[in-house]
Structure 1
Amino acid sequence: MASQNSPLSDERVTYVEFSLSSSDHPFVAVSETDGAEALLREFIPRGAGSYAEFFSVGGAEPETVLAHADDHPSVEARLVERFEDEVLFEFVVDDGCPAVFLGESGALPCTVESRGGTGTVGAEVPPSEDVTTVIDGFLDAYPDAELTVKRTQPHGTPIFGQGCLRAALEADMTDRQRDVLEAAHDSGYYDWPRAVTAEELAERFDICPATFHQHLRAAEQKLVALSLRRN
């Protein structure tokens, strides 16, 4: 089930990482509780500048996490699943989020975490983008940010790997959820940059884009929750 447009290539990407200290960022504010920490599990583009961020949060009450999200009108928060030591949340975000800023700049956010009131945001910048422009733009947009890492690596990281996808397709999903998730993966929907749009995939299934997104979102939530259960 290899994607037609594999995100892995021989081209080298540049990984950049920033530290953030302002509690204006919800994922940083959550970690100000003693012992609390937040870790991004998946970052999925929804289209039109909207993204789904799946965070596992430990050491903080779910109500506290949701309250921090409610303070930001551009964030739509949802509790996905509770585990023994952590809770999985989905945050649908747009402008104002540091990870979204990097995504809209052409980079792929792959590290977002916080602990002790300090946040870390890292992303892979493909050869098609100017690294200096991405870095300078981020530092201008977020005065509390500091560049801490800049290195080259052999290739980019796929959003969803083959092993995780195969396990998810065998999990507790409806037939339609399995179909749309597999079609999205195989058509390059999760490549970076995206090889096909949700609208194009919805047309293949002869359903409206909103219905396609509904099935895909439900499948993605189960996929990310499954990956945590298997860890």
Structure 2
Amino acid sequence: MSSKNAARTADRVTYVEFSLSSPAHPFVAVSALDGGAAQLETFVPRGAGSYAEYFSITGVEPEVVLARAHDHPSADARVVDRFEDGGLFEFVVDGGCPAVFLGEAGAFPCTVEGRDGSGTIGAEVPPSEDVATVIDDFLEAYPDADLTRKREQSYGTPTFGPRYLQAALEHDLTDRQREVLETAHDVGYYDWPREVTAEELADRFDISPATLHQHLRAAEQKLIALALRRA
């Protein structure tokens, strides 16, 4: 294989998509409510098996969503922004979530949505992972799931691309939040696979990983709200 063809192969991922039917998944349960719909906007690894999932949920009062989330102790939920017909929510999860399962398996969840009481979850599997193993392990872990799509495609964009970063830098981030977020973006912290760990990034600022995550989390919430705010 020529170096050019090898580069093309390395630049591709396998996209897999599953349907889910169990209301045990919060985004499926919310969509079963009259008029409810949930869509994952972005997915941010926190480290140590923890992830922040940002969902736009419409057709349901935010307080109802929070009450449902509290029934799932593995998810720490909060409202990031309120819309006329719903809101943007952050769910910090560390287990029991299909998206987390795929993330821990080395895939990148890029499509998660619930509509009419059923769910869809799609993920990009990089060449470094065995696609068949990811699929088989997911179906074994979630018996209500069915594989509905599998295709090769180009790599998706990083979790935070230039459009999202610029939206944050031009608005109300503090100087420290802007510095940490911009550096994280530049050194590949938000790339998939990640180019630098949280510990390595924290060392650049001579702060603890916990403090780094505090700065990033505050900046990310503002970033997501600004990028997705509705008129």
Q: How far does the alpha carbon of each residue in 1:110-161 deviate from its partner, in whole angstroms, 9 at most, with x for none?
A: 0000011101000000111111100011000000001111111022331111
Tell me how far apart the structure 2 counterparts of residues 94 and 16 of structure 1 sit (CA, whole Å): 22
Counterpart residue number, 1:30: 30
Find the residue that maps to 1:160 and give its secondary structure: coil
Counterpart residue number, 1:5: none
Aligned length, in residue pairs: 224
What code does the residue aligned with 2:84 have?
E
What code does the residue aligned with 1:137 have?
D
What code does the residue aligned with 1:185 have?
H
- TM-score (normalised: structure 1): 0.93
Counterpart residue number, 1:192: 192
What code does the residue aligned with 1:20 have?
L
Q: Which runs of 5+ in 1 are unaligned?
A: 1-7
Cα separation, partners in 2 of 1:180 and 1:201, compared to 1, 3 Å: same
What code does the residue aligned with 2:209 have?
P
Counterpart residue number, 2:5: none
Tell me how far apart the structure 1 counterparts of residues 165 and 200 of structure 2 sit (CA, whole Å): 21
Is contact 1:81–1:225 with CA below 8 Å preserved after alignment? Answer: yes
- TM-score (normalised: structure 2): 0.93
Q: CA deviation at 1:86?
A: 2.7
Is contact 1:9–1:155 with CA below 8 Å preserved after alignment? Answer: no
Counterpart residue number, 1:99: 99
Identity %: 74
Counterpart residue number, 2:50: 50
Q: Which runs of 4+ in 1 moved over 4 A?
A: none
Counterpart residue number, 2:74: 74
Q: CA deviation at 1:75?
A: 0.8
Find the residue that maps to 1:24 and give its secondary structure: coil
Q: CA deviation at 1:10?
A: 5.3
Q: CA deviation at 1:166?
A: 1.4
Counterpart residue number, 1:180: 180
Find the residue that maps to 2:229 and give its secondary structure: helix
Cα separation, partners in 2 of 1:34 and 1:52, compared to 1, 3 Å: same
Find the residue that maps to 1:173 and give its secondary structure: coil
What code does the residue aligned with 2:212 have?
F
Is contact 1:80–1:225 with CA below 8 Å preserved after alignment? Answer: yes
Q: CA deviation at 1:199?
A: 1.8
Q: Which runs of 5+ in 2 are unaligned?
A: 1-7
